Chain A
């Protein structure tokens, strides 16, 4: 008893927690497959654009935009898995013994997924630059090298929001299939309903993420668009995240 109280072990530093969570997102087959698919889809889309695209559509920005589709679709699923696999694979039983502050663990998962998104984004921009050079050699001269900061920043922020949304849906539902289906289907269904029902058109403007996200990634968000991005993000990222954190904070681990 005295031995315990006189030797307090130092706590787990935040960066260490994030590094371990990042490793956990990539050390399983599912994680590696998803990342591999992101790379494969990105390369395929860039190649397609290089081969078949109009010479005018080529260029650093155009190639980056085309290549981003893979990660926008698939990287959020790594966020989903990071949240759900603890419960579906029952590793929560060890994770939350080693670090009992569960919300801190989930913060580290979000940070790790964010770091992964940043790395993938940087790699995509670099790959697009390479593709632009190749395009210059194969087609009539390299496309424009213009790359707006608003476009770059918008794409990165958009990717981060989607990954966080994946994590949030995972935490709220704690089941991999349910979270993936809900993450993919619910926002789209809502967009559809909003456009079909005239009475919902005005609220949908404020509560539908797809419009503001498209603007964000095109780098054309301005003025009231930011407010619409904020309200729709609060609904589609903030609400599931709050439900998920609340649900997991004191839930009994079986």
Chain B
């Protein structure tokens, strides 16, 4: 389990992280969402012991990563797929880390096969790799030490649609086997499809967090009836909020029972009654980050 607790990071007068707290529990995929410069990468770097926080803690299973004797066996990390020595082959990159962690050479072959890098690709220098191949190599590197926790910064970046689906399945299986996954992304659809929990961050502050379903289900219902005007007046009279929907019908804060009772009292025939359409993670994302997004991200 990952626990970020009151994390604050300042560079001089600039506050990059401002009292960030959240948990990524075991057995679940936690999506870490935010526009560029929101503090996702900084949070992950502090978690991985690569940056020092001004205040607060970031721990895995109760330990700071810096205090673990062989961290690669506990946490698999992919922070930047481009951060590989251009002159080494993919296989050499994995071999170095496997030796350092004390893993058998077979583990390198297994991980290369797992991410679908062929022998010829593995023997080519990483200078020649496409971004998608770098991401696959980075994932192989993260999985190398058979960790219980994965920390992945924008892992879907540069993957083709088949690759994105493959990665989604891989992360799902990893979490279903009891692993902890923290993945950051600005690819909203991708996170919606795979994350059990969401943490939204903007300008160094956590803006919202909770389970994906909880965050995405809007309160209230949507209703169509034979006489929307009469029904709207009844619902307003009962103290509920009502707004007209684009394609006809009403959106209201009232639940299904309240709508049903209002319709019964007014003797209006209901044609359609359903829970309010989920706001969509994109709406949520833009609503929550509109005030804190950088201009180019908001454009």
Contacts and interface: CB of A to CB of B under 8 A. Distances in A.
A27 B80 contact: no
Interface in B71-94: 71-75, 77, 79-80, 82-88, 92
Interface stretch (A18-26, A140-148, A191-199, A236-244): A18-26
Interface string B55-80: 00000111101101111111101011
Contacts of B62: 1, 4-5
A100 B60 contact: no
Interface in A196-244: none
A42 to B, nearest CB: 24
Nearest to A93: B83
A20 B72 contact: no
Q: Give the secondary structure class of B's interface.
A: loop
Interface residues of B, number: 41
B113 interface: no
Contacts of A126: none
Nearest to A98: B72
Contacts of B87: 28-30, 89
A11 interface: yes
Interface stretch (B96-104, B194-202, B239-247): B96-104
Contact of A100 (B65, B83, B96): B65
A100 B99 CA distance: 16
Interface stretch (B45-53, B182-190, B250-258, B275-283): B45-53
Interface string B256-271: 0000000000000000
B86 A89 contact: yes
B100 A16 contact: yes
Contacts of A10: 69-70, 102
A252 B85 contact: no
Contact of B97 (A3, A30, A98, A252): A98
A8 B148 CA distance: 13
A44 interface: no
B1 interface: yes
A20 B99 contact: yes
Contact of B49 (A11, A29, A89, A97): A97
B141 interface: yes
A97 B74 contact: no
Nearest to B92: A27
Contacts of B112: none
Contacts of A91: 83-85
Interface in A60-117: 85, 89-94, 96-101
A12 interface: yes
B80 A23 contact: no
Contact of A98 (B82, B88, B100): B100
Interface in B11-45: 26, 45
Interface of A: 1, 3-5, 8-12, 16-17, 19-20, 23-24, 27-30, 85, 89-94, 96-101, 250, 252-254
Given A1-B62, A5-B63, A98-B100, 10 more contacts: A4-B62, A8-B69, A10-B69, A89-B85, A90-B83, A91-B85, A97-B50, A100-B49, A100-B68, A101-B66
